[in-house]
């Protein structure tokens, strides 16, 4: 019995790796919403390597908006000109090009959909709608 379970476990892990590695720009394209408490973060990804991002505070005032490009490589999506959201963005502050950086965020693909991981330790993710 343990022999069968061991092989089943390897088969399951293999399937998950294959699912994660077969993600294309078409698969990633769509609208993602961040799970942050202090703001509403939306990320729209298209299949041509571009993204648009809008962040609102909880009173629905826009905090930040930008458009830029992204690449996919080795289970990560690398965003150019990306403002990291650690749940600390505020409408009382101004964000400009000096606050932007290149961010390489891992993503997972499961049977329930694609999730982009912003900070796994703090539980910050973008879920595809």
Q: Along the 129 residues of the chain, how does pLDDT read in single tens digits? A: 555 655 555 555 555 444 445 578 899 999 999 999 999 999 999 999 999 999 999 999 999 999 999 999 999 999 999 999 998 998 889 999 999 999 999 999 888 899 999 999 999 999 999
d(CA 47, CA 84) in angstroms, rounded, equals 22
d(CA 87, CA 56) in angstroms, rounded, equals 11
Q: Could you say which DSSP state residue 61 is in?
A: -
Q: How far is CA 85 from CA 17, 78, 117, in A?
A: 28, 15, 11
- Residue matched to tokens 């298209």: 46
Complete domains list, the chain, with CATH: 2-128 (2.40.128.360)
Sign of the four-CA dihedral 58, 119, 65, 95: positive
Phi/psi of residue 37, each to 5°? -85, -35
């Amino acid at each position: 019995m343990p022999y069968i379970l061991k092989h089943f476990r390897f088969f399951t892990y293999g399937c998950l790796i294959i699912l994660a590695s077969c993600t294309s720009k078409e698969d990633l394209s769509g609208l993602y919403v961040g799970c942050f408490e202090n703001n509403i973060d939306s990320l729209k990804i298209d299949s041509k390597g571009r993204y648009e991002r809008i962040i609102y505070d909880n009173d629905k005032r826009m905090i930040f908006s930008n458009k830029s490009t992204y690449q996919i490589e080795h289970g990560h999506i690398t965003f150019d000109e990306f403002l990291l959201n650690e749940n600390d963005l505020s409408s009382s502050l101004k964000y400009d090009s000096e606050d932007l950086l290149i961010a390489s965020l891992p993503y997972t693909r499961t049977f329930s959909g694609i999730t982009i991981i912003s900070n796994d330790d703090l539980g910050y993710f973008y879920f595809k709608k």
